[in-house]
Structure 1
Amino acid sequence: MHVALYSRGFVKEDLEDIRFLLEELNRQEITPVIFEPFYRELRPHVQFYPETEVFSHAEDLNQRIEFLVSLGGDGTLLDTVSFIRDKNIPVMGVNFGRLGFLASIGRNEIHEVVDSLISRNYVVDKRTLIHLDTSIPLFGNVPYALNEFTIHKKDTSAMVKIHTYLNGEFLNTYWADGLIVATPTGSTGYSLSCGGPIVFPEAASFVITPVAPHNLNVRPIIVPDNNIISFEVEGRSDQFLCTLDSRMEVIDNRVQLAVKKEDFSISLLRLNEGNFLHTLRNKLLWGIDTRNAGRK
């Protein structure tokens, strides 16, 4: 079995857990295929087994890769989307970061992670992606995102006007710093911090959330994900920001933008005892009121 390992990097506190993960993979005769920059960073600190391999590009992840394990926070896991693309390689996120809605498996569960991959004892969550169509090439071969698409003013310039349409029918003009279109997965990210609702991962919907709207009666709205959402942008500045998750492009108001549901999805793996409700209670500290003592 070949398992890819991806991380943006590490701090010294992570080394013991990384060594333990590599030992567990070796114990189960699993070949680790490590992201090449991460591998180079680890080499002075880790004794690798001879079977260890590396990858650098999406094309390196072929059919022999059965799983990809993300080591970091949610941002690290979002990076993996650009590597696995439509290859249907399941991703399991081990949280070396902070909050961890997506990378919700604790570093203390590494032994369980490896055993679950061997025994196939895990739960697969299919997550919707959002696809961006544009009048000029943007975002290379990865014009999609797991969390959200955004339009945003570039700097400290005045707010922008974002004319928004559903299947060609006018929805609203947002006078705001920007606009977010989030998937259910992304509803607990940037959209949530801007007042958007939490949406269950299996909900077939997108959340449209304005960023710092000038009109107080403008609120986030949930729309079915079979809609095509298109935009026209105006502003005093000639340039705006367009993002897919953590990737960013600078555009002008001549660029035509539209988003829709991507044709394929991504598979996130979790251990059997974890689920979305458990993650919400744990990460958002729901039920911390002592009057809820005894509730599971």
Structure 2
Amino acid sequence: MPVTPVQDAATPAQRTPLRPLHLLVVSVCMLVAFLDGFDVQMIAFMAPAIGREWQVEKEVFGLIFSSGIAGMLVGMVGQGPLSDRFGRKPMTLLCVALFGLCTLACAVAQSTTELLVLRFLGGVGMGAVLPNVIVLVSEFAPPHLRSRMVVVLGAGVPIGGLVAGALSAWLLPVTGWRPLFVVGGAAPLALLPVLALWLPESPLFRIERARRQGGASGPKDEEAIRDLVRRGWAAPLAVEAPVASQGVGALLGAGLRRSTLLLWLVCAANMVLFYSMLSWMPLILTSAGKPESLAALSGAMLNFGVIVG
């Protein structure tokens, strides 16, 4: 039988104050989102300098930009079954290591082909890590603060892009583009020990793993949920096994199909606009004779607008 929210455990959780564990989870996950946003967007700020050094046409960067986004799409779509099987924490560690190593390798790339492949592989990690940290923050946040904490987490991506743009505007004229890839790759790798020590595993994954190992769910599962809620480890979220097992199929059922497709359309249009402006604005500005530092700063200001929004 599926495990459902326990009514007598929900009321105390609504009054659960913000505890150190909650702040720890959102802080660590926001660091991941920050570095994700930094590494995703940095290539756009470096593109004018790379094109000038390698003597390549700006049209070539369309493929490089697209390869990173394609990798993110693969990561976002493919991470679900893996996270459900192996856990949110191991997948987060793996994804951070993947995009950190690929970004670091970009610093020694010698051709646009190498850059394209590395950006695709790094994009897989960048795309797969965000759903996992969003889920972790959603599960650990007290119910009355959940939406705010998820919004704070989401702001980590444009903050990372803002810092990447500002840092590029400052360092590109001095150091060139390769040291920036070193910074973007070394920072996620340095974060791995912090994640290994302090990032907790998803409480709902723990319940599901116990169910898989022990067979059918029962009172022990519900008591485990009560215990997690009492200790402030997690909000009382429903664990409807039949619905969860349907995956995307449940979202496209008769009752949710229209809302799902409309939300997908809005999100897709938003992402197309944002990444098109972000990727091409620096190249367009440098082609118009503007300095590379100003082109990088334009991307930083775009992210500032996203943060305000």
**Fold match, TM over 0.5?**
no
Q: Greater strand percent: which structure?
A: 1
TM-score between both structures, scaled by the size of structure 1: 0.24
TM-score between both structures, scaled by the size of structure 2: 0.23
